[in-house]
Amino acid sequence: MVRDDERRTNKSLIDRAREAEIQGWRDYEVMSEVSRSQVPAGYQIISTIWVDVWKEAEMEKRTVKSRLCVRGNEEKIKIGHSFAPTVSRDILFSCLTIMISKKGSCRQWMWRRPSYRVVR
């Protein structure tokens, strides 16, 4: 992560990385800029946060990679939980060991969100 003191001294580098991220969103047509008054009824404005990290480019040269992240915890659509649970490797191996010892079978469970279509 880029620290606050580094953010001040590397402002132009960070600005270029952020502009590249925004341009990527535009190129893939996943965003368009609208004023608050143009937001259609039923749509919700969700804030974003910039995440800037250092990346090693070439020999001893660092560059910044920026990501614009949507703060999904602000979403008001009630579709169940909105977190991505993860499990440690040790717990996964323990569960698989118990399952195998009891001659169980392994099934894959996947919870899918309902799909929403955004019309421009």
Domain extents for the chain? 1-36+46-74
Q: Which pLDDT score is estimated for 52?
A: 92
Find the range with the poorest average confidence among 22-36, 39-53, 64-78, 97-111. Answer: 97-111
Residue 114: partners with Cβ closer than 8 Å, 6 or more residues away: 79
Q: What is the average pLDDT score of the chain? A: 76
pLDDT digits (tens, 9 = 90+) for 47-94: 888 999 988 877 678 889 999 888 766 666 655 555 566 677 777 778
Report the pLDDT value the prediction gives residue 32, as an integer from 0 to 100: 75
Contact 64, 15 (CB under 8 A): no
pLDDT of residue 66: 93
Q: What confidence tier does 30 reach under pLDDT thresholds 50, 70, 90?
A: confident
Q: How confident is the model at residue 46 (pLDDT cuts 50, 70, 90)?
A: confident
Q: With contact defined as beta carbons under 8 Å apart, do 10 and 2 qualify?
A: yes
48 within 8 A of 25, measured Cβ to Cβ = no
Cα–Cα distance measured from residue 87 to residue 92, given in angstroms and rounded to the nearest whole number = 7
pLDDT of residue 84: 60
Reply yes or no on whether the pLDDT at 111 is more than 60.
no
Q: Which of 41, 21, 40 is nearest to 31 (CA)?
A: 21
